[in-house]
Structure 1
């Protein structure tokens, strides 16, 4: 008979220790704005909550009597569910607002929306079409704002990706990640984060689909600063050679449906298959933020033992929880810091 450990309830009371990272009151629009030790702290907090709640059966009401406004201009599965269930699991009240409920900049200005929500809630998560909308929210809000996805960055996805890799490999420093696909918002977030964790990055994009030039310039500076490599090519196999991690994403994002036929033509040869994996490191793994289309990665790779896509999807919950706790409280992780 399977036995279950009885949950013991704890309420938050700990204060941050002197000299330790404290992110309370910060916003997260891009991991470009976060230092290496701050990113590691977020991953540590996420790891801590996962262990204490999932594995040890604790009940932690760290966000009791707090609320979050979740604004979605674009549909979502993982971002919505991870945030909504995670905030509730920590004792708080999530408020989900679709484009039918709140029209940013249409029936009410973004400025007014930010000021109203600041008086009604403790935190804003916004999934928006334009990154400039987030910048205006941060400017006008008096509470933290989290980027739930914009056209430029998707930082909360990258936190989940890196904790997944840390769990699998035992550490991050020295790993090589190969991005094979579009130069999009997820790649941009990888580029703003990898070097700070000691991770090398190889990028293969078709000509005309390269990452944003300013993001690339910043990534080159980070690579030089942290002593990692940053390699760009248009050859998927060249990017995959010797890599530990193969990553791709949708070829046709939301709002790009009219470009579908042309994009499929331009991305011909970019599907990740076992042929791609054969040139990678023997300990290769595969990541995809989902939803996935077969043309991006075949079933043999996607459902293989090397695929980490479903642990990666679950970790969206633990990392957004770690982030929300870090921005709203002075919580200090109770478990040892993982090796990064």
Structure 2
């Protein structure tokens, strides 16, 4: 009989966690990791980093459930296929919960904003800047844009409206999350429908840990090859440690965002190229030439990391 993975996802989202059990659950997870890695990495002591047990998520997504003129936030239970309704989401940051309260009241009073609204995604940063993406099952015209402009001002958020083959942006299409190390700020763009670290507290600890393992700024005489760098979350904070970084990413928005953030942070030793992991391997080995690498001297990199 096949044993179920101890890391299987819960069948339904945790809506009301018991905070008093957090330390116990974290210790249990650490022990499962030790058992999983036993005999593979030797006798290595795990470093365990705790997250705030509540209000740590900086992004979330909800279905919007219509009952007459009323509207509810919902998760779909993957087992029963029935909606689970909620007014607040205590795992999300305080700013997201505030927007959830204000948005629900706004939608109840505004039919244009409410009608045919199917799903929302919310992305926030640690400075309380927030982006609301609204997905509709109806065309969005100028009347909706005027409605969204008022809603954006009232709710103090950027808004993206999506319908079939259409996208309207009110304000900005992203928020900027910043992490500071040794007095230098590293920005990163975060937006809907693109991956970013959802737990900003743990992300800062991840970056701090990675920097500590690699040494002091300027300590390395080699270059880093980073595959699928995303929005540059690790790329930019690690740039001061390495001589140069060659990073790859296939998502066009992420490449654009990372390059803009690198320029803002005055990071000049990073090159981001649109290659897959397999293509990057071929390029580094010299077994295949890519037009996308025009102007990039692969042979000048000492890629030992």
TM-score for the superposition, normalised by structure 1: 0.28
User: Which structure's residues are more often strand, by fraction?
Assistant: 2
TM-score for the superposition, normalised by structure 2: 0.31
Structure possessing the higher radius of gyration over alpha carbons: 2
- Looking at both structures, which has the greater relative contact order when contacts are Cα pairs under 8 Å and sequence separation is at least 6? 1
